[in-house]
Structure 1
Amino acid sequence: MIKQIGVLLVSTSLLASCVGSKKHKALESDYTVLNNKYTQLQEDLKRCEDDRTKLGSSVSNLENLNTNLKQRVANLAEQMDDAKSTNTQVLSNLKDLSVISEKQAESISKSLDKLKEKDAYIQDLQSAMAYKDSLNMALVLNLKGALRDVNDQDINIQVEKGVVFISISDKLLFESGRYDITSKAKTILGKVATVLNNQPNIEFMVEGHTDNVAIKGGALKDNWDLSVLRATSVVRTLQNDFGIKPSRMTAGGRSQYAPIASNDNASGRASNRRTRIVILPELDQFYQLLEPNRTADKPAK
């Protein structure tokens, strides 16, 4: 009987030890998972702080640019006032010396007024262009912020001559030789669409580009077909999946005829296979600015 009780006690001890060991291992596993999550959160927090610092610096640069532009406008206005005072004084002196007649002086005065109007008009255009450049800079910063987790070599965002270009490598959007959007592509296009939807007045063009490798067989005739169908696939996805109005978009194919690198090697061909989103300038604003001045310059009938 005593022997049986001893065996029972030993068995109970071993069972308790086994259960305790399993619980300990489970706790260790939970701790490892939580510790990994904590490390990831710390990395995400640091990345967010870095992005906030960069955006703060960009905002500061924009504010400084705006301040400098205002100062330049003020300086130009002061120069115009000085020129006006000088011209008035010169006309007065010329009349006093009887070098020109009063009618001639009046004609010269009108010509000077027209010159001042043109100068003011040029200043308005320069201010409008500077404002547009500031908006483009803000748009680029927003796009780069939205796509910060994408390899820089696969997406290129830049401004040329007042136009914003977003160039996306074909490997992020399509499988080789195909024009169907991949699931990974929708994630990337969704990030771009979020920025574009926040600027509802912006219109843009989606361009498909290929390398010069000929297409053999299948439904596609050539690279013209492939580039156009890829562009329309992107446009259709932006419209159907992300709610961008179709009236804001234009789709076009450039085939192999607008390369950015040599097609003589694999690296160059990879660079040429891309989809480019071109943010079109808002020309209506400039036309509205030009129209009143065009009317003013028309001779009276």
Structure 2
Amino acid sequence: MKYSILAPIAFVAIFVMQGCVSNKKYQELQSNNSKLQQSNEELNKRLQGSEQDLSGSRVRVKSLEEQIASEKANVASLQAALEKCLNSSTQGNVNISKLVDEINSSNKYIQQLVNAKNKSDSLNMVLTNNLTRSLSREEMTDVDVKVLKGVVYVSLADNMLYKSGSYEIADKAGATLGKIAKIIKDYNGYDVLIEGNTDNVPITQTNIRNNWDLSALRASSVVLSLQNNYGIDPKRLTAGGRGEYNPVASNDTPEGKARNRRTQIIITPKLDQFMELIGKAPETSKQ
């Protein structure tokens, strides 16, 4: 599936009408066409990211479905053994009762797996909707939101958050940080990691030693802003810098470097309930 963009048609129309308009008007139309083409490229990039997220979700769903199918097969085996016991005069009531308990336990675990799958799907959808609906179209251009296994990854471009060549928060970042802070407050049981990333161009400022410093300072600036300006409990916040060593694109192009210069806000739920679920898996008796 591809986004349908009218930029190529508009460009042809501009070309045909070139002889009928002034040179200034023609240049304006060319500029508009370039912006439309750039918008088309950005939409395609976002589409590719969404398709990758969908692929990951399908893998997780398939894993849960395989577990459910395995448990159902186990139930069928236990039921067959139960029927064998019922048809045999030599089997006692104790063995029959044990098989019934194992069948009930397996059925309960299957339901737990189904509920976990449904909860994971619902959590991903709710988190994504809550974040994206609070951001304007312009903000979404510089904000990338992903939800993987219940963990929210919000990636913000450096030109949205910081003053040029600095780790100080820019005034224009306030609106976006305010909306993200609201989501963090709504999910107050979640921990938040602020992770700074840079491109591979060495920093030249005398008060910053290298890209490690710059990424950590930028992450720390976001943490302080969330704490001081939006009242986020600092016990939930962690600031970290990864420098140039966690790229998401090639540093060989200006576009790739721009994507690598980013700050990620990673909102992580407590996974106690999932670990508890694993610990409750029923043990089947040896036949």
Q: Same fold (TM over 0.5)?
A: yes
CA distances 1:181-236 after superposition (whole Å, capped 9, x unpaired): 11111221011112221222222211111001011241111111111111111011
Letter in 2 for 1:253: G
1:237 Cα deviation after fit? 0.5
Alignment pair present for 1:88 and 2:82: yes
Partner of 2:168: 180
1:102 Cα deviation after fit? 3.1
CA contact 1:173–1:184 (8 Å) conserved in 2: yes
Radius of gyration: which is bigger?
1
Instruction: Tell me how far apart the structure 1 counterparts of residues 216 and 100 of structure 2 sit (CA, whole Å).
Output: 54
Partner of 1:237: 225
CA contact 2:189–2:269 (8 Å) conserved in 1: no
Alignment pair present for 1:214 and 2:202: yes
- Structure 1: stretches of 5+ with no match in the other structure: 1-71
Partner of 1:262: 250
RMSD: 3.2
Instruction: Tell me how far apart the structure 2 counterparts of residues 152 and 145 of structure 1 sit (CA, whole Å).
Output: 10
1:106 Cα deviation after fit? 5.6
Q: 1:219 to 1:126 in 2, by over 3 A?
A: farther
Letter in 1 for 2:82: T
Letter in 2 for 1:120: K
CA contact 1:177–1:226 (8 Å) conserved in 2: no
Instruction: Tell me how far apart the structure 1 counterparts of residues 276 and 242 of structure 2 sit (CA, whole Å).
Output: 32
Alignment pair present for 1:102 and 2:85: no
- Structure 2 residue corresponding to 1:248, chosen from 226, 236, 241: 236
Instruction: Tell me how far apart the structure 2 counterparts of residues 112 and 102 of structure 1 sit (CA, whole Å).
Output: 14
- Structure 2: stretches of 5+ with no match in the other structure: 1-64
Alignment pair present for 1:142 and 2:136: no
Instruction: Tell me how far apart the structure 2 counterparts of residues 259 and 78 of structure 1 sit (CA, whole Å).
Output: 43
Instruction: Tell me how far apart the structure 1 counterparts of residues 99 and 216 of structure 2 sit (CA, whole Å).
Output: 54
Give the count of matched residue pairs. Answer: 216
Partner of 2:57: none
Instruction: Tell me how far apart the structure 1 counterparts of residues 99 and 208 of structure 2 sit (CA, whole Å).
Output: 64
Letter in 1 for 2:133: G
- Structure 2 residue corresponding to 1:203, chosen from 179, 191, 206: 191
Secondary structure of 1:277 counterpart: strand
Q: 1:107 to 1:176 in 2, by over 3 A?
A: farther
Secondary structure of 2:230 counterpart: coil
